[in-house]
Structure formats: C-alpha cells, structure tokens
Structure 1
Amino acid sequence: MRTMIDFYLNLPAKFGNKNAFATRMGTGVYQYKTYDDLLIDAKDLAFGLKGSLSEREKVAIFADNAYEWIQTSIAVTLLGAVDVPRASDVTEHDILYILNHSESKILFVENEVVFKKVIRLESELEFLKEIVIMYPPKEGNKEIGSRKIKISTLQELVAKGKELRKADPSDTIFLNNTIKESDLFTMIYTSGTTGTPKGVMLTQGNILFQLQNLPIRLQKGDRTLSILPIWHIFERIFEIFSLYYGACTYYSSVRTLKEDLRFVKPHFMASAPRLWESIYSGILGTLAKSSPVKQKMFQLAMFFAKRFFLSRQVITGNVLDIHPVVFWKQSIRFLYHLYRFFLVSIPHLFFDFLVLSKIRKATGGELRGSCSGGGALPYHVDEFFNTIGIPVLEGYGMTETAPVLAMRTFEEIIPGSVGRIFPKTNLRLVDLHTGEVFLDTEVGKFVFGRKGEIHVKGKQVMAGYYKNPDATNKVLVDGWLNTGDLGIFTANHNLRIVGRSKETIVLLGGENVEPVPIESKILESEWIDQCMVVGQDQKYLSVLVYPNISRFEEPVTGEFWKQKEVIQKIETEIKAKVNAQTGFKSFERVVGLVVLPKPFEVGDELTAKLSLKRHVITDKYKSEISALYSNN
C-alpha cells in the first residue's frame, strides 16, 4: 500500500459482502452496509464532487459519527483531497477560523442547524464555494440566506455521481493520482486547553504507519462499537483499523450504549477514561442500593479476584516495577504469588461465576477488551476492570502523533502504565531543569525510574501545524516531537505518564508538584466527581472540588457547597486519599478546599477530551482561590 487511496480501493476485494458498518434504526434494529456498499457509495459521492475538487484541496466536515461521515471522508480521500473534520456543535468562532485558515473549498454540514451557523458568516468566508447538507430538512428552502455559495445535498451529489459512473465505472480516475505517502490525509484543528486552534497536518504515511503497527489484532467479522467523536483521531484510527481487519463498526452513543452493548455484543471498542469512570460509578451506585447479602458477595468476589489478578501479574512478569528488582527479591515474590495464585484460584472461579460474570454480561458477554485513550485512566478504575475480567488496553498518544505512541497488549497488561513504545518509534526523556537527555532509545541509553519530559520520533509524527511555522518549530526539532508530557520509563520497558510539564505547580518553597497524580488519587473517592489542584507560588496546595451529590444519604439541596456536612465529608475523603501512607510527600499534602457550586463543563472549563482547562478554571475561580490563601 502506497497511500490510503490504495487501502480503500482494495477493501472490496478483501472483504466484499462482509458487513462494514451498522447504523441503529431502533432498539436492537440495525441497518447494515457491506464493504462493497461502502466503496460504491464513496465512489458515487467522489464522482459527484470531482468537478468541484482537485487533489490536495481542503474539504471541511462538520458532523458527528455516522455512516455518511465515513462515506464522505473516503470520497474526499479517493480524490486526493484533504478532509478537515469537526463536530456538529462547532462554534461560530471556530467555523470562521477553521474554514478561512484551512482554505476549505467545500464544507459538509450535518444538518440545518450547522448550515445556519455557516450562512450567518457567509460574508466573512473567503474560500468556501459550496456547502453540502448531509441530512437536509424535509421541508424548507435550503437556498435561504445564501448569495454566493453553492448549496447542495449529499443525496444530490451521490445521485449525480452514480449517473457519471455509468459512463466510466472503472477506478481509473482514482488510480491515476499524484498523491504520495508524504501528502496530507487529514488536517485536525486541536481544541486544546490554551490558545487558538492549530491545524495538525497528518499525512497518508502517518495513518498507514498506525494501521501496520498497532499491537492488537481484530478478526474478520468482529463487532466493534463507535462511541467517541469521529473527528478525534483516536476514534477515527480505530474505525479505519476495524476496516483493516474486516470488522463491522456499530454506531452507538452514550445515551444508547447500555442497549447497544446488550444487542451488539461487541468484541472490542475504543473508549475514553470518562466512559469507564461512568460505568465504574454506575456499578458501585447499583451495589450501594442492593441488599447486604449481595454487597457481601461482591466484596468476597473482589477480594479473591484482586489477589488472583495480582498474583497472575507477578507470575507472568507484568508488574509495574519502576526500578529493577534484585533477583532474590524477584524469586521470593514469584514463589509467594505462585503459591497464592493456586490458593485463591478455586474460590476466585466460584465467585467469578456467581458475581463478576454478571457484570461482564452487561457488556454483551463477548467483549474481549477495549483500548482507552484521550486521557489518563484513573488507576483504581484501570485496576477494577482488569481485575473483573474486562481487559482495558490503555494507550498513550496525541493528535500530533496520529495518535498512538505507546499501547498495552493483551499479553502485557500493567495497570498504571501505557505499555511499550511503538515499533520503529524512538523515545527520549529530558530533564526539565537541566535539559539533559538522560534516556534515548535511539542510541540505547536507558535510565529507569527517573521522571522527564517525553520527546518522540517516528513515522507517526505529524508534518507540522498548518501555516504556523513558529508553533511547529517550538515542538518539532530535528524530527523529535516534544509532547509536553512527563513520563517514567520502567524496568520492564513500559512507559508511565505522570503529568504535564506545563501543569507543574511550583510552591513558594521551590518544591515542584505534579497535580495529576494527586487529582487521580482524590478522584478515587466515590464522594468526589471532579477536582483540580492549585497552589502556584503559594505555601501549600489546595483543591477545587465538585462533589458527587448523589452519594450523600440525605438529599443535599440549596447551597450545598457551603454546607458543613458536605465540606467535612470532602475534607475527610481527601485526607484519607492523600497522605504519607498512600505515597505522597509532605509538600504534596492538600490543605485548602473550595467546594464548587457547579461541575466543570465541556466548552467552558473542559476540552472536548474532558481535559481540564487549568488557566480558565484558575481565572474563573480566582477570587475563591485568593480568599482561600488570604484566610490562611
């Protein structure tokens, strides 16, 4: 395969009448599209577009997960053009910026709502020539408000292309292209925690490298679920990866996930940490309302499952050893866990059948595993699902690396790590204070257990930020990408992510504190829903917390954030989680507390990936933070 054009054109020959996509039409009812259908539909659309689009031109897609999205994306790729994706909830500010900055010539919009947003900006759009409505209203005039931009529908373009293909049914138009591995495949505008969106340029080669090197395998005919936003490169790679192996992708949503799990019985799915946190909280919430007998049964099941899982991890060498362990200690540990493994096996199998199998059945009963990305998976959630028999393969990456850099495998699941670095990918760890490169896999230089900033080099690294050489040069030097993340290389060559270099809090005494491990520990509490640690240039750390109100036995009403009962409970939980016994230093202890009246929300305090916009939160609650320190 030379390009993604070759990849798509070869799919019908490999998988033909196998189902490629399934769209939910109702409870337990799905409409299927085969691999043959997929390429026919994409080619029809490509023929409908070919008179308006040339190679390497940009086509924006502002829409959500659906079969028509992938159809559009493939059609654009077949013509050698570049798609510029975003969700349907895109703001007018981002519409204007992305369309003008990317110089997109054609825009596909999901519906009339997005269409109207674009039309309001018509006079300011410099390059846009055509808008295609994917799901037009049944009634109404789609021409309203437009004077210079051509308006059409997806159905019209497909019908037009179908007629044109009758005269030329061959693939000659697609095969006779000048697209190379170094040409762009997609351009994704990041919605990061700071600044104006940057257009990440990902090439044909970036995507092909991911497909050929992901350390997991699917089987032909496997069922996978699509839940995460398709414009995020993580979900998109997973859908293309499913095509690579002849699997069928079922479109789901957070709202219908529970039903879809039951009816689809997926074999694999891509997910975000927040989804697993939600399922975890749901399980514990259901358990809290169950009878004392059921609660005791669950506790016993978890008691044996944890010991079974940990002992198996030790026996197979899948332990988070930050530093090398001397041989005699390894031997004693191995023998102890070998003995315990056999000791707990029978009671574990009994309670697993009686209790834990029912939890797994709620996911359809055929789920072999899930890959988690787009953020750090809290350790307690990670450990829980792997313990109960739902393997979670946490990965690490970013949009700028298309996206995967490291990933666990079924053979090496180590909670607390993100697995091994990809093949043909090099890693450096750089000391934040001295700039020393103390670990460099390219030259075989290894140091275990020392924290440093992660720099990577490989064929998955982006071409740069579109029309932004300054931003590109800040993060990309001699092929090495500065991820801005902090990591530790473990003794068994796994990577552990411990924070962001720009998130580091420097206390008044000069101590450097990474807030993420503290926040992750605090979030292990069932009483706390969201939190953010603060304390830059202060004597001690404090935390902003939004509590899990549903956990309080008595209904909490009114100004709960001021109620003594709520504040005291949260303080108790934080002290129980962050202390010397749980591995935290004295200066990492959280002293101050602000209970927030409302949760952090996407588009305000959170990015689309649910990352904290720390500068926004700090500014929004600056008076509360200031009062916290002035009062103490």
Structure 2
Amino acid sequence: MTDPKRLFDFPYYQLEKYPQEGALVSKVDGTWVKTSTQEYLDKANAMSRGLIKLGVKPNDKVAIISMTNRTEWNICDIGILQTGAQDVPIYPTISQEEYEYVLNHSESTYVFVSCNEVLEKINKIKGNVPSLKGVYSFDAINDCDNWNTVLELGDANKDLQEEVQKRMDAVHEDDLATLIYTSGTTGKPKGVMLSHKNIASNAKHSEGRLPIVMGKSTALSFLPVCHIYERMLLYMYQYCGVSIHFAESLETISANLQEIHPEVMTAVPRLLEKVYDKIIAKGTALTGIKKKLFFWAVDLGLKWEPYGQNGWLYETKLGIARKLIFSKWQIALGGNLKAIASGSAALQPRLARVFNAAGCPVMEGYGLTETSPVVTVNDMRNNGFKIGTVGKALPDTEIKIAEDGEILVKGPQVMQGYYKDPDQTAEVLKNGYFHTGDIGVIDSEGFLKITDRKKSMFKTSGGKYVAPQLIENAMKQSSFIEQILVVGDGEKMPAALIQPNWEFISEWSDREEKNIPKDIAIASKNEVLISYIQKEIDTYNERFGKWEKIKTFALTPDIWSIEDGQLTPTMKAKRKVIKEMYKDLYEGLYGRS
C-alpha cells in the first residue's frame, strides 16, 4: 500500500507494514484489553455497514462524545469516515446549550456517547435537534441503545461491504473529513473544516519529529481525542505501528505510566507544571543531605542547555544528578520515555530545561485547530531544538511574519474554512495564508518564538502596549500561582486576577505553620497569603518594563475550571468570561468598587 492519503487508510497501512497485536489497548474492569490491527479494521467495517443500514449517507454528520479516550472512539471514527460521512467530535464537558448548538449547526444525524453523564445532557436537548435520529452509548446504559447494536447490524449485513468499498473509493484526500468546533474564549464555537489531506499530511510530517521505533514503540494517550492535537497523533501512531494505550483518566496517569512504560506521550504545559510542583513538594519534605542533593540537582537542571552547550564539567555533574536524583523522576514517568510532546499553550522554559536535564525529553510544538494542528515542533535530533522556542516548521510548511508581527501559515495542513461561515473564513484565509492571530518572531536559524495572541494584547490609558501572555507565563512559574489573567485594557496600569495554587498553599501553610484557612473563599482574603504572593509578583515584575509591571492584583475565591466556564477545554483562560465573572474584583483593582 502507498502512503495513506485518507484517514481511514491509516489502519490498513498499519496492517500491511506493522500489524499490531495491541493496536488499541483500553482498560476494562481492571484489565488491559488489546484490539489487534485486524480486529480494529473488522469492527470498523462492521460499523460502516451498520451505519449504512441505518441510512447514513455520504456527507452526513455523526457526532462522537466521550469522557475518556478509548478503543471504541477510533473504531467509530474509521467506521464513519469509510461511509463518506464526516464525524463531529465534541468536548464532553461543554454545557448542554453548547451541545445543542453544535449538533444543530452540524446537523448531526446520530451521536455516540461514552457514558451516562454525557447521555443525560443529550437527552435534555435531543428534542431540540431535528436532524438527530438516534443515540448510541459505548457503556451499557439502561434506556439507551448500545453501540454494539450497530456492529451487530453490520455483521448481519455483510453484503453491504461492497457498498462500503464503493464509498471509500469515492472519497478523495481533499474531501472534508471532520468538523472540529473550537472552544474559543468568546462567542459561539466555530466548526473548523479539516480535510483528509489536512490531517493525514500533518500526521506523516510529524512522524519525523518524534523518536519512534517503527512497529515497536508504545504510546500513552490521555489528552482529549476530540481535540485535533491528540487525534492527529493517533493517526501518526497508527502510521508508525505504535501500540496505543488509553489512560483510564487524568487521575490514573501515574499508575498507567507504571503499567505501560511508554516511549512517547503528549502533555499540556499545565500537566507538566503539576508534575513538577508535586516533585518539588516531595523534595521539600526531605531532610539533611538528601534534601541538599535534591535541590542541587534541580538547580543544575534549571541551567540545562541542549547539545552539551554547558561544557564537559556541567555534563559530568548532570550525569551524577541523573544517577542519584533524576533516575527517580524517570521511573515515576514509566522509566522508558523518549519524548513528551507538549502543545496547546506556552511551555515555561524552566520546565523544558529541568525535564530534559532529568532525561525526560519534552519537545514543545505550536499549532492551532485550523492547522490540523502542528505548524512547528522542536526535535532533539539534527540541531532542531532550542529552549524558549516552539521549533522549526514542518516539511511543506511556510511561515512568515506580517508587518504587525502576526504569524501567517501556508501548507497542506491549513483548514478548508469555517463551516457555514464564509465571512469568518475570509477574515483568516487571505492570499493563500492562514492568519493565526498569534504574534511571533523567527530567528536566524528558523526557530519560531510565540510572544502573544494578537487579540489579547492591549494598550493602557498611557498608550503603552502590553503583551499579557508573556507576563502570565512568567508569573505562573510561582508555586503560589495556579492561573493568572493580566488585565488593563484602557486602564492606567496592568493588574491581575489570580487563582492561587490552593493545593501547594495548603501543604506550605501546614509545613511553615502559616495557618492559612482551608476555606479558599476566606483564604483569598488572607493578608498573610496576599503578602507572600505580592513578594512573588515583585520578583517576576523585575523582568518587565515599568509600564508592564503588575501594580495590583486580586485573588479569586474559586478554582477556575472547564466545567465552571473559566477555562476552555484546552485549559486556556477565557478572558472576557473571567473579567465578567469577577467584575467586582476587577473594578476593585482600579478603585472603582
């Protein structure tokens, strides 16, 4: 078989090149259950036949909503695409109103759900979605058809396989494959139209940036597969013959790493920050020589540079640190990791340094849903890695910086447009380039550095421009700060709304006997805590110009979350939502409350 061009070609390519006993592996009732490449395809074809029998036609839309990544998701995905229909992956944690909007906007005919929690939301709004013909569940749920009934329907109609093949043959690589609705920080979600070629090309080009042994590596998958980042990588893993293990949940990742010992996994910076904070907390609890050795190793790691740039003496010390201290970090992450691919938000340089120094390589990349998603990525090989950057462009990808600093992208991964929205499409696709809305620079070696979102930059009343993400990324290095939103558009000075790291603060308060209240609503007004956070702010303010320094801040009395609306599903702060949610705190920052 030639290189896969359409998304459903990937498992067939794997079957021919690197057939796997455990192509897809999920934990069921405490046991890892393997699905071979052949079984994967057999079930996908049964799904295709079942959907055709249900009346699914080419260009119909079928939604998939799952709380966790699982084997069934991938079988549905390939099964749907083989019919010439398109799938619509939906974030499970969005509101039922957003479910209703996405299902109506996409005119989805069927929806596959993972569990009762998702089903309850669907049941409340399905009467308002005229196009919806049926709902199927992966889990066994009373009063809901099980997805196995579609597979059984396909098994009972094997004569339809010829029709499946006809439909597959009719699908071109430039045809629409999927609609992915961006979470967005404001307004209605936009349906990003991605073709088979968009995603397939990205998967094949990304393969060259990760240290994978074709046909032999293992991956742990836990980032939401409804996000194009993890989904694209699943196709890439199939292309490379990687055995994909799906984590049970975010809470079980540590245990799953110990069970699976993967070579590669993906992560978002927030997760790496939490891992780092927990490691530091453990180190802080040590005493005597053990504690001194621990922080000697950490301090050494924070000075790490790639390719031995620090010289032989540093590398000698690092070898000792890895043997005495960092080897335990490696074991905690499964002991076999060759790469952690970090994306969706900016990675703090200190995390890139310390994890790489520890022998747990973190490769930061950059992309958007509209670019399928990868535009650039770091790679330790071939001088392709530089701290503080998001790497070099993928093959066949052109990046240029507009006069105002905006990053423009041209390449096979750039979306077809926004579904049913030609006006917004025209705003971002101009002269063959996708206008990302991000601000950045490309250095003399071709490395891209992101500095901010174009729309999030603001001007103070004094006429000075402020790039809030730069300040936020610096401030989040503080163990006291979980999330921060820098504000000040049209105001006399920048200020900040801060969600403290309550887990760290609780441990710190107990250890240092600071008596910070456990009730976070009360603790957010605690003068002792506020004074300590002020010291942290003062420290990081030194990095910025006078007009950029955070002059005042307020602690929010809640934990920001996706469910409560402060964060997008990729853990980005919703700026307008947070400002409105904490309007009184915001006004108080400027003495107006």
Measure the CA separation in 2 of the matches of 1:109 and 1:303: 47
1:523-547 CA distance string (max 9 Å, x none): 1111222211111112211111222
Write the mapping of 1:327-342 to structure 2, written as runs, cut at 5 A. 337=310, 341-342=311-312
Aligned partner of residue 105 in structure 1, secondary structure: strand
- Structure 1, unpaired ranges of 5+: 143-151, 315-336, 433-451
SS at structure 2 position matched to 1:256 = helix
Q: How far off is 1:102 after superposition? A: 0.7
Please give the per-residue CA displacement for 1:515-567, whole angstroms capped at 9, x wherever unaligned.
11111111111122221111111221111122232233334115122222111
Residue 407 (structure 1) shift? 0.6
In structure 2, the residue matched to 1:321 is none
Deviations 1:471-524 (A, max 9, x none): 111111122111110101112210001110111121111110101111111111
- Is 1:608 paired with 2:569? yes
User: Where does residue 376 of structure 1 map in the other structure?
Assistant: 346
SS at match of 2:295: helix
Give the 3 Å change call, closer, same or farther, for CA 175–53 of structure 1 in structure 2.
closer
Contact 1:22 1:32 in 2 (8 A): yes
Residue 361 of structure 1: aligned partner = 331
Cα distance in structure 2, aligned partners of 1:174 and 1:285: 59
Distance 1:618 1:14, change over 3 A: same
Q: Secondary structure at the match of 1:177?
A: helix
Q: Deviation string for 1:289-339 (max 9, x for gaps)?
A: 1123222001222344455x327453xxxxxxxxxxxxxxxxxxxxxx4xx
Q: Retained in 1: the 8 A contact 2:341–2:362?
A: yes
Distance 1:576 1:631 in 2: 27
Contact 2:302 2:350 survives alignment (8 Å): no
Is the CA contact 1:48–1:159 (under 8 Å) kept in the aligned structure 2?
yes
Structure 2 equivalent of residue 198 of structure 1: 190
1:430 matched to 2:398? The reply is no
Distance 2:219 2:227 in 1: 17
| Other-structure match for 1:415 | 387
- The aligned runs of 1:166-245 (5 Å cut-off) are 167=159, 173=165, 177-214=169-206, 215-217=208-210, 218-219=212-213, 220-245=215-240
SS at match of 2:455: helix
1:438 is matched with none
Matched, 1:101 2:105: yes
Amino acid at match of 2:77: S
Superposed, which structure 2 residues align to 1:184-333 within 5 Å?
A: 184-214=176-206, 215-217=208-210, 218-219=212-213, 220-252=215-247, 253-307=249-303, 309-310=304-305, 312=307, 314=309
Q: How far apart, CA to CA, are the structure 1 residues paired with 2:528 and 2:117?
A: 45
Q: Does 1:347 align with 2:337?
A: no
Alpha-carbon separation, structure 2, partners of 1:380 and 1:616: 30
Q: Distance in 1 between matches of 2:353 and 2:306?
A: 13
**8 A Cα contact 2:258 2:332, kept in partner:** yes
What amino acid sits opposite 1:488 in the alignment? V
Shift of 1:606: 0.8
Structure-2 change in CA distance of 1:171 and 1:382 (3 Å)? farther
Alpha-carbon spacing, 1:113–1:625, altered in 2? closer, same or farther (3 Å)? closer
Select the residue among 45, 48, 65 that pairs with 2:47: 45
Percent identity of equivalent pairs: 31
Structure number, greater radius of gyration: 1
Output aligned runs, 1:614-625, within 5 Å. Answer: 614-625=575-586
Aligned 1:459-474 pairs, distance under 5 A: 459-474=412-427
Query: SS of the residue aligned with 2:495?
Result: strand
String of CA shifts for 1:20-79, please: whole Å, max 9, x gaps: 11112366x411111111101111111111121111211111223111111100100111
Q: Where in structure 2 are the equivalents of 1:397-412 lying within 5 Å?
A: 397-411=367-381, 412=384
Q: Which moved more, 1:171-180 or 1:611-620?
A: 171-180
Q: Would you say 1:492 and 2:445 are equivalent positions?
A: yes
Change (3 A) 1:343 1:75: same
User: Residues of 2 paired with 1:96 and 1:235: CA distance?
Assistant: 24
Residue 523 (1) aligns with residue 468 (2):
no
Kindly report which structure 2 residues correspond to 1:30-109, keeping only aligned pairs within 5 A, or say none: 30-51=32-53, 52-64=55-67, 65-109=69-113
Q: CA deviation at 1:80?
A: 1.5
Partners of 1:417 and 1:497 within 8 A in 2: yes
In structure 2, distance between residues paired with 1:46 and 1:176: 10
Distance between the aligned counterparts of 2:436 and 2:161, measured in 1?
46
Work out the CA distance in 2 between the residues paired with 1:591 and 1:12. 60
Q: Which segment drifts farther, 346-355 or 405-414? A: 346-355
- Are the equivalent residues in 1 in contact too, given 2:83–2:167 (CA < 8 A)? no
- CA RMSD in angstroms, aligned pairs only: 2.0
Residue 532 of structure 2 aligns to which amino acid in structure 1? Answer: K
CA distance in 1, matches of 2:297, 2:233: 33
1:93 and 1:164 map into 2 onto residues whose CA distance is 37
Q: Distance in 1 between matches of 2:77 and 2:499?
A: 40
Letter in 2 for 1:565: V
Q: More deviation in 113-122 or 91-100? A: 113-122
Structure 2 residue identity aligned to 1:201: M
TM-score, normalising length: structure 2: 0.92
Q: Relative to 1, partners in 2 of residues 1:302 and 1:159: Cα closer, same or farther, differing over 3 Å? A: same
| CA–CA separation in structure 2 for the residues paired with 1:594 and 1:311 | 39
Contact 1:63 1:88 (C-alpha < 8 Å) held by counterparts: yes
Rounded to whole Å, the distance in 1 between the matches of 2:550 and 2:93 is: 37
CA distance in 2, matches of 1:349, 1:483: 41
User: Offset at 1:3?
Assistant: 2.2
Alignment match, 1:129: 133
Q: Which runs of 5 or more residues in structure 2 are unaligned?
A: none
- The alpha-carbon deviation at position 355 of structure 1 amounts to 1.1
Shift in alpha-carbon separation, 1:26–1:277, aligned structure 2, 3 A = farther
1:592 and 2:555 correspond = no
TM-score (norm 1): 0.87
Matched, 1:8 2:4: no
Measure the CA separation in 2 of the matches of 1:238 and 1:176.
22
Deviation by residue 1:148-167 (Cα, 9 ceiling, x = unmatched):
xxxx42111111212322x4
1:572 aligned onto 2:535: yes
CA shift, 1:344, in A, is 2.9
Per-residue deviation, 1:621: 2.0
CA shift digits 1:186-241 (9 cap, x unpaired): 10111110100111000011012112211324221211011101100001011111
Q: Are the structure 2 counterparts of residues 528 and 113 from structure 1 closer, same or farther at C-alpha, using a change threshold of 3 Å?
A: closer
Deviation at 1:382, TM superposition (A): 2.0
Structure 1 match to 2:146: 153
Q: Deviations over 1:454-482 (max 9, x none)?
A: 11111101000000111111111122111
Question: Would you say the 8 A contact 1:80–1:177 is kept in 2?
Answer: no
Q: Distance in 2 between matches of 1:420 and 1:368?
A: 20
- Does the aligned pair in 1 maintain the 2:301–2:354 contact within 8 Å? no
Q: How many residues align?
A: 571
CA distance in 2, matches of 1:313, 1:492: 18
Equivalent of 1:115, from 113, 119, 124? 119
- 1:391 matched to 2:361? The reply is yes
Deviation at 1:628, TM superposition (A): 2.2
The residue identity in structure 1 corresponding to 2:584 is: S
Structure 2 CA distance for aligned equivalents of residues 379 and 124 of structure 1: 47
How far off its partner does 1:414 sit?
Answer: 1.5
Paired residue secondary structure (1:13)? helix
CA distance in structure 1 between the partners assigned to 2:221 and 2:146 by the alignment: 25
Change beyond 3 A, Cα 1:525–1:112: closer
